[in-house]
Amino acid sequence: MKKRAGSSAKGRRAYMLEQLEDRIVLDATTDGASQDNPDNPDSPVHHLAPVLTGDHAVDPAQLGGAAPQANPAAGQADPVATIFHQDASQVLVPDRAEVVPDPAGQTEATSAAGPKVLLISSDLANAADLAAAAQHDVITLKYDGATETPQEIIHQVEQALGGQKAASIALATHDVGENTFYLTSDAPISLSSLSNSPELRSFWTDLGHLVEDGGRIDILSCSTGAGEGGLQLVNQLESLTGHAVAASTDSTGNAAFGGDWVLERGEVDLASTYFVADRLERVEGRLATIDWAGNVGWKTLMTGSVFDPSADQQAQKATTDLIGDSQHGVLYSAYDDKGTATPDDDEIAYRVRMGGADSGGSFSSILLMGIDANLDGTIDVFVTVQDTENGIRLWYPGTGMNISPSTTTTDDSLPGHGPQKIVSLTGNYSFTAVTDSNDPDHNKAPDSGTMYDLYGINGTDQFLTFKLPFHLISDQLSEGDSTHSPIIAPIVINKESPIHYVLGTSTQTNAFNSDLGGVGAGNLNSNTSWADLGCFSPVVSASNMFPYFDAPSTADSASVTVTTGATAVTTMGAKDADNDVLTYSIVGGADAPLFKIDPISGALSFLDAANVRNPLDS
């Protein structure tokens, strides 16, 4: 079983400055003086302050031929940030319009004569490389996605345009799951937010006023235009702006990371419209992120009906009761690679559904999660979460075997391994009531009770959400300890490595003594293995949900009875939490040549009718 992924006349604007080297960045704040350019008398060269590029410090007044000076101070501020100052006077803007023939291949610019504007959110990890890839005639503005308001962004664009209207305006930012993207960190754009916020509607109307007739607005983020929801969002933005709006239906970014530079809804080739194509190869990653507070981007690791009904804990307490049903998970995860190539900034988040809150709305228990990182049935690292100064902590396996509830032990640190890894709760933890906006399964009817109180026992259910750097988990697993008893073997994993989880609650950090996903209270002291108890989640990876069989059985193996003379065996069924399209195939096995399987339907059959008197199988 495998996954498979699902012209008009053109012109561009010319500057009064010559571009003599690809990597030179000019700060356009001038002192008003200029000198003749002997190579082009019609284009005076402005005296500009020296700026630091990625390789050299260059005085633009020396562009007539003096060699660049070596960078005297490594570690200085990001040069791209020099021109992306929040003051729009720092942006290089053409002081006259000159329509020149469009180079071959640049076919996606609009037919309007105004300049093109590229707005880049500072929240993008690859913002600097994206800006450096822009064509020289594109007005490029970087705004602070954490602090600026929508109207401050509008003001920047107005200043940069200097009374002109743009042929097109592109907004490069993170998505927040399908059909939602960040304008700022406090202003996600979706059908819902546009409906509820006059300020956001005003922003798009005002932005539309800065685009000339026949112009366009382009949204550079992942999956904003995907599906029916994406079409509705684009239509709403077009209504507010009065212009065509283009958006992507898939991942936007470097092809090496699963993206592309095409806005499929609108058929806009970004590489030729705003960027120099070969420079885009330096932009690593994709324009994507995860909204930790939202309901999109989450994968279900444990389904409640299998892993936890209500009121099955040893200590009858709302915050120790793991909750779920057949339609609503008890444990979810989300992985954010920040759209970059390095795993050093990757984060993994988990969301757990609890039966309710304690007095005052707090979580006063301990969540205990174990990870089997090599699928041998033994817990290799533990993660605990407490609503205290202890925060989120990683634990080594203790002296117990850690193969069952009764053999669970933990150690906070080991000799020679440094202090315990602790993550602060600040910015990494929340304990909030279940709502439509934070429930990944908000559109599914409950088995009983209500969407917000599945069993009607302890009031509104709560979500405990926490996140931590993924490298903390992988680093601890890779350490190992040959002096420990039992020996802790080093395990090397990455975000694609197969792992599975056990989940429980407790009143202490070295035992599951309250609730345990997959079993009732009577099994908390069981020496039966995690696997035999049914406590393990399906095998997943940190960043991906592997497809799994759910028919004819969810077990690792199954038997099917076939009548003599029949060819049909069964129909294999599988699911994938990432909603990837699945295909079926038969790989290996001595009897493989005797069978065939439909790659789409999963129908499995004998090539020749079964004959018990003359079996052909081995």
Q: Which of 533, 563, 598 is the last residue of a domain?
A: 533
pLDDT the model gives residue 314 = 52
Percent above pLDDT 70 for the chain: 76
Q: Which domain holds residue 128?
A: 10-17+70-280
Domain annotation covers residue 26: no
Does the residue 495 lie in any domain?
yes
pLDDT tens digits, 453-490: 998 887 899 999 999 999 999 999 999 898 888 899 99
- 357: closest CA among 426, 293, 453? 453
Residues 468 and 593 in one domain: no
Q: Is the dihedral of CA 188, 189, 191, 192 positive or negative?
A: positive
DSSP string, 155-192: HHHHHHHTT--EEEEEEE--B-STT-EEEETTEEESHH
Residue 63 in any domain: the answer is no
Higher pLDDT, 502 or 2: 502
The pLDDT value recorded for residue 433 is 95
Residues 252 and 312 in one domain: no
Please tell me whether residues 329 and 225 are part of one structural domain: no
DSSP state of 344: G
Q: Give the end-to-end CA distance of the chain in Å, rounded to a whole number.
A: 23
Residues 503 and 581 both lie in one domain: no
Same domain for 496 and 377: yes
When pLDDT is averaged across residues 1-10 and rounded to a whole number, the result is: 38
Alpha-carbon distance of 193 to 427, in angstroms, equals 23
pLDDT for residue 326: 87
For all residues of the chain together, what is the average pLDDT? 78
28 or 483: which leads in pLDDT:
483
Q: Is the pLDDT of residue 180 over 60?
A: yes
Indicate whether 524 and 376 sit together in one domain: yes
Q: What is the mean pLDDT of residues 597-608?
A: 93
In the chain, how many domains are there? 3
pLDDT value for 223: 85
Q: What is the DSSP letter of 181?
A: E
Residues 335 and 477 grouped into a single domain? yes
Does residue 127 surpass a pLDDT of 70?
yes
Question: Cα separation of 394 and 392, whole Å?
Answer: 7
* pLDDT (mean) for 562-575: 89
Task: Specify whether 331 is located in the same domain as 429.
Answer: yes
The answer as to whether 209 is a domain residue is yes
616 pLDDT higher than 90:
no
Report d(CA 228, CA 235) in Å as an integer: 11
38 within a domain of the structure (yes/no):
no
In a domain, 411, yes or no: yes
Same domain, 112 and 164: yes
Compute the average pLDDT of residues 287-309.
74
Whether residue 453 is contained in a domain is answered as yes
Confidence of residue 402 (pLDDT cuts 50, 70, 90): very high
Least confident of 51-60, 67-76, 319-328, 550-559: 51-60
pLDDT tops 70 at residue 414: yes
Q: Which of these three, 500, 533, 566, is where a domain ends? A: 533
**In Å, what is the CA distance from 189 to each residue of 404, 411, 531, 554?**
46, 45, 44, 39
Instruction: Kindly state whether residue 289 falls inside one of the protein's structural domains.
Output: no
* CB contact set of 568 (below 8 Å; sequence gap of 6+): 562, 603, 604, 605
Picking from 91-105, 436-450, 466-480, which range would have the lowest pLDDT averaged per residue? 91-105
Give the mean pLDDT of 287-312: 72
Together in a domain, 523 and 559: no
Q: Encoding tokens for residue 252? A: 């936007």
The pLDDT of residue 339 is 64
Q: Are 347 and 423 within 8 A, CB to CB?
A: no
Using the 3D structure, point to which of 252, 280, 308 is the last residue of a domain.
Answer: 280
Q: Model pTM?
A: 0.59
Per-residue pLDDT tens for 353-387?
998 898 778 898 999 999 999 999 999 999 999 99
What is d(CA 425, CA 357) in angstroms, rounded to the nearest whole number?
A: 18
Do residue 244 and residue 380 come from a single domain? no
Question: Quick one: 247 and 334 in the same domain?
Answer: no
* Torsional class of 333: left (φ above 0), alpha (ψ -120 to 50), beta (otherwise): beta
Whether the upstream peptide bond of residue 38 has omega within 30° of 0, thus cis, is no
